[in-house]
Amino acid sequence: MVNVTLSQILIGCGLITLVGCLPTDNEPTTQTPINCDTATAHDDRILCAHNQVRADVTNPTPVPGLEPLVWNEDLANVAQSYAEQCIWAHNADRGDTFNVYIGENLYASTNEPNPETAVTSWADEVSDYNFANNSCTAGAMCGH
């Protein structure tokens, strides 16, 4: 069994998000569900934004459906450690601790970035992505 997990760190350099499927050791998650209608904590807001995008994916419809993400403190520690270096590049070592592929999204803004804006910028890349041949429109960004 795996637990789809998310962790992100907001820093002066930008926003780093790590996403991966991590083993749960056959134990159910003990996290309290988030009420996205009233979420104010930064971590909750980015989870809600990611999960809303995942729930809205219908073209093509994923089979199986995309599971909601949950917070993972171990991923948060990896993201925080890398973010503190203020390197604007993907962390090639982000999955070493977990022995699985860990996705990573980067976001920067001249304004203070917020979770919803960052997730929307990544999700909007879908308009340039061709699912049939797994490619991106020339000159566009589809790597998140």
DSSP string of 124-140, one letter each residue: GGGGGEETTTTEE-TT-
Residue 20 confidence (pLDDT): 53
Q: Tell me which residue has tokens 């104010």.
A: 40
Residue 8 confidence (pLDDT): 52
Residue 30 confidence (pLDDT): 52
Q: Which two tokens stand for residue 125?
A: 């890349």
Residue 3 confidence (pLDDT): 45
Among residues 77, 53, 76, which one has the least CA distance to residue 66? 53
Lowest pLDDT segment from 28-32, 73-77, 78-82, 136-140? 28-32
Whether 134 shows a pLDDT value over 80: the answer reads yes
Residue 18 confidence (pLDDT): 56
Lowest pLDDT segment from 4-18, 22-36, 57-71? 4-18
Distance CA 54, CA 51 (A): 5
Which letter does DSSP use for residue 62 in this model? Answer: P
Whether 113 shows a pLDDT value over 80: the answer reads no
102 — pLDDT class (breaks 50, 70, 90): confident
Total-model pTM: 0.73
59 — pLDDT class (breaks 50, 70, 90): confident
* Main-chain dihedrals φ then ψ at residue 12, nearest 5 degrees: -60, -30
Give the residue, 7 or 59, on which the prediction is more confident. Answer: 59
Q: How high does pLDDT run on average in the chain?
A: 74
